[in-house]
Amino acid sequence: MLKTADYDFHLPQELIAQDPLTDRSSCRLLVIDRNSGRFLHRRFNEIGHFLRPGDLLVLNDTKVIPARLLGTKKDTGAAVEILLLKRLGADLWETLVKPGKKLRAGAEVVFGDGSLRAVIKEVLPDGNRIVEFHYAGIFEEVLDRLGEMPLPPYITHKLQDPSMYQTVYARYEGSAAAPTAGLHFDRPLMESIQKAGVDLVYVTLHVGLGTFRPVKVEDAEKHVMHSEWYRVTPEAAQAINQARAEGRRVICVGTTACRTVESAADENGIVQPGAEETSIFIYPGYRFKVMDGLITNFHLPQSTLLMLVSAFAGRDHVLAAYEEAVREKYRFFSFGDACFFTDDLSEGTDR
């Protein structure tokens, strides 16, 4: 049994980062040898020192949409919040609603001046709602006007600059949450590591709020993952497969990039192009088929993401590194600091 309690750790509240750094790449970086558990303290803009010419970085180019809508229930005027999770059709979405008990099938919600309305079509077993939207014009333009950036529940105030919750390479709209490991990259850093011979390739996974969903069962293997849509282009699949065939490292930027390539790979580790849904749950005992290194943030206690990292680097090594990060007052979660799980702690020359 995979005990959820075995992935707990003490985290002081003050270490949960509430705001992003203005200089994205200036955050702290804990570099961890996944085989020995040894680690080094650095800054993220020094990550190029630990990359080799020929390494391939896999980045998730999804873009967060202003998915949080605040409205009123048409018949009562009660305040309602609808969070867009997944697009099911042109005007049909799977959503998370608050307060759930008041929004049964048939209920109608009005937003803003009434130019956007939502009708609850179905209540799903997990409590999510299927919602049909009615509006005039282009939905994305209406959403840009009326929606807000959806921040994780542990962020307690509104973000002043919504662009700071987007990666600089975000391209395809569809996420309810950012692939936060990528928030640390700025354009100069990306250019410098490319000049040093590191290749970049992009995949897309639209991040749902299942990312933040806690594991509530004692046996973590019984936890049900929400599915998320991903796409790997033929060009991206070819680049990843070629790197592996040539013995070059494939390093994922974030757990979403990891889950994408591992979902798209066949049993021989060959990444297949295509667009699919994935509900892959990676935990200790999983055999990685593609990924050789992982750049990621510090994750929530007892979370599926902490289990994924532990599957890659070993639970004891990961929890020891987290204890060190707490001791050294690293910043945690979406706007926090980063770590790089690698197989090589040797540093190259400055780049």
Residue-level pLDDT at 351: 29
333 lies in a domain? yes
156 lies in a domain? no
Q: CATH no. for residue 327?
A: 3.40.1780.10
289 with 178, same domain? yes
CA distance 324 to 339: 12
What's the maximum distance between 2 C-alpha atoms anywhere in the chain? Answer: 66
55 with 73, same domain? no
Residue pair 64/176 in contact (Cβ under 8 Å)? The answer is yes
Residue-level pLDDT at 42: 98
98 with 12, same domain? no
201 with 52, same domain? yes
3 state SS of 80:
strand
90 with 106, same domain? yes
Residue 124 lies in domain: 68-146
Average pLDDT per block of 10 residues along the chain, 351 residues long: 96 96 97 97 98 98 96 93 92 91 91 94 92 95 93 86 95 95 98 98 92 84 92 98 98 98 98 97 98 98 97 98 98 97 77 29
Residue pair 283/307 in contact (Cβ under 8 Å)? The answer is yes
175 with 271, same domain? yes
Q: CATH no. for residue 135?
A: 2.40.10.240
Please give the full DSSP string across 19-57, using - where no structure is assigned: S--SSGGGSEEEEEETTT--EEEEEGGGGGGG--TT-EE
Residue pair 111/146 in contact (Cβ under 8 Å)? The answer is yes
Residue with tokens 């706007």: 335
List of residues 6+ apart from 176 with CB closer than 8 A: 64, 65, 67, 83, 84, 85, 150, 206, 207, 208, 209
189 with 311, same domain? yes
337 with 247, same domain? yes
CA distance 93 to 86: 6
250 with 119, same domain? no
Which of 95, 115, 146 lies at the terminal end of a domain, its last residue?
146
347 lies in a domain? no
Domain count, the chain: 2
